[in-house]
Amino acid sequence: MADEQPLHIAVLVKQVPPYDSSPALDSRRRIDRTSLPAEMNAWCRRAVTRAVELGRACGGRVTAVTLGPPRAVDVLREAIACGADDGLHVSDPALAGADCLVTAHALAAAVRTQGAPDLVVAGRSSTDGSTSAIGPMTAELLGLPFIGPVLDVGLRMAGGTRRLVAVLQREDAVEEVEAELPAVISVAERSCAAAKAAPENWPSPAAVTTLPLTGLPGARAAAASPTTVLAVHTIRQGRRPELLTGDPDDAGRVLELIDQRAARLDVAPASTLPPGPPRLSGPLILAVTGAPRSVGARALLGAAAGIAARTDGHVVVATPHADLARLSAAGADDALVFTDSGPRSLARALADWAASRPEPPWAVLSGSTAWDREVLARLAVRLDGGLMSDLTSLRTQEAAESTLLIGTKPTGSALADITAVGRTRIATVHTGCLPLPAPRAARSITHRTLDVAEEPAVRVLHRTPRGDHDAVERAHVVIGVGAGVPKEGYAELDGLRDLLDAEFAATRKVTDAGMQAHDRQVGITGRSIAPRLYLAIGISGSRDHLVGVARAHTIVAINHDPDAPVFDQCDIGLVADWRDAVRALTRAAAERWR
């Protein structure tokens, strides 16, 4: 690429507390991070690696950009030590406590001060907030295409112009895409080595330029944030674990307890949907789904119908398919059928549709796939609405002058309750954490067509679908494999898996190491599932993983450490070496269930 114009790349990085820390709220109801140690976000480390690789390949320049308090300069110093050329630190007390929308406005404004970078690189998410929104929000504010999460990325000439070619990690496929430059990309978790440098190799803070809020045209103070944290609380024990030792006879007792709990499940009534409203009036709850026939869409529409019933409103589903009977039975009262699913164009069309109404939607809900996150992040920018990302539950609450929509999500080892203010509340939700109500009687609903222009800036070159991508969500029995089980030990699980007719799932550490496919990852950055039985083997019990199985009917945990956190969040615990326990359970299951 020596004969080509070098690129200017901006890489967005964030300073976060250590993983699994529990921040509290300060006197202004902002998450207080000052008392905790700080480090570069794990996803941002991979973003730095990719940015530096691309910059060096074309003789370009890499500018690391962050927003944070004075000590956040350290992540820029480390990024420079890892190969970035310079750093830009947005720091102003008026930005303390900024939510993702205000943060994106500030970062986009900071990027603009650098002229017009050819590429903006971000990590897929952050370990403290898990919004996955900064990349697509920044892209929308800069008027650029967005692609991600990226597993691999490079540059090539096509038609006399330089284009980005990337391999994307989708929930149901791996895609190779081509995008026009300039663009914004987000980098997937295990796409490359994490950029790291020892503190003694960091440059002086003088290598970093600091910008206050006044130096950022178009940026806003944190007080303009449309979302706010209401409370941070410790995780309450929701299960009453029965712990057993590793005695071989205990394997039979484990199966007996499983059978007892399964009998209770068989007689438990399913939750029911509220009846549809007599007319389409009151607050509009918009549910956006790209997969209307999925179990996740059913759960999403059920949640939307519940909110509509509590606000005397109605549900409009935005979808690419007009299966009206199915949508009505799941909770929809009206349908908006879009002609193209490109997130950038769809967000623009939805925003125009909302603006054409007498009143905008009271709430917009979607799932938590990469597609969902991009559509709603872009829509939040266009509607200037508060985005609550990666929620595990939703509820309404009456306040003095209004009804609040409150979402709950993990933050480190605690849970945060957040709400959005303004005319439209926007939320992405882990649909596997939501109840799945029984369908209601379908009734006649109308549908309208939403014309969506195709997106010319991003082109799919090749798509390799994974036929079993949703197998772990559909399975009644799931065996979760943690870092305590080495790759060579997986064969020892096959007998038990066959007896239970189970699917494998995994923690993030396992998928990061490449020992299980990404679509098998369960937790806040993966899938949320609700099997009848979840068997956690060699899993320590991170809250970010266990939130993904919160709706499992029975959780059985096997770990050799009696103090492992997983034993606080299971129903049946077996303190034993995983190999001994699996062998004993396999023998006992063969005798009991064959």
Confidence band for 159, pLDDT divided at 50, 70 and 90? confident
CA distance 138 to 481: 36
Residue 157 pLDDT: 82
If DSSP codes are grouped into helix, strand and coil, which group holds residue 322? coil
Domain boundaries, the chain: 8-225, 235-267+466-593, 284-457
Superfamily grouping for domain 284-457: HUPs (3.40.50.620)
Report CA 478 to chain centroid distance, whole Å: 21
Helices and strands (DSSP H and E) totals, the chain: 14, 31
Residue 493 pLDDT > 70: yes
Q: What share of the chain is helix, strand, coil (3-state, %, to 5)?
A: 30, 30, 40
Residue 2 scores a pLDDT above 50 = no
The per-residue pLDDT for 403 is: 93
Give the pLDDT confidence of 254-272 residue by residue, as tens digits. Answer: 999 999 888 766 555 567 8
Q: Would the pLDDT of 1 be above 60?
A: no
The DSSP letter of residue 542 is -
Which residue did the predictor score with more confidence, 33 or 363? 363
pLDDT tens-digit profile of 284-325?
999 999 988 888 999 999 999 999 999 999 999 999 988 899
pLDDT at 3: 44
With a cut of 90, say whether residue 423 has pLDDT above it. Answer: yes
Query: pLDDT-based confidence at 101, cuts 50/70/90?
Result: very high
Tell me if 511 sits within 8 A of 517, measured CB to CB: yes
583 CB burial (10 A radius; 0-12, 13-18, 19+)? middle
In this predicted structure, the answer to whether residue 281 has a pLDDT above a threshold of 90 is no
Say if residue 74's pLDDT is above 80: yes
pLDDT of the residue at 29: 58
Indicate whether 179 pLDDT > 50: yes
Quick check: 90 and 67 in contact, CB under 8 A? yes
Q: Which residue has tokens 């164009």?
A: 345
How many degrees, rounded to 5, is the angle at CA 141 between CA 135 and CA 146? 40
Between 296 and 468, the higher pLDDT residue: 296
Same fold, 8-225 and 284-457: yes
For residue 462, the cross-strand partners are 176
Percent of residues, the chain, with pLDDT higher than 90: 68
**H or E stretch covering 307:** helix 295-311
Higher pLDDT, 277 or 106: 106
What average pLDDT score do residues 427-433 get?
90
Does the pLDDT value for residue 126 go beyond 90? no
Worst-scoring range by mean pLDDT, 127-131, 275-279, 296-300?
A: 127-131
Residues paired with residue 284 on neighbouring β-strands, in sequence order? 314
What is this structure's pTM? 0.90
The CATH superfamily of 235-267+466-593 is: TPP-binding domain (3.40.50.1220)
* Average pLDDT for the chain: 90
Residues 6 or more apart whose Cβ sits within 8 Å of residue 160: none
Would you say the C-alpha torsion 272, 278, 283, 286 has a positive or negative sign? positive
Residue range 8-225, CATH number: 3.40.50.620
Pairing relation of β-strands 208-211 and 86-90?
parallel
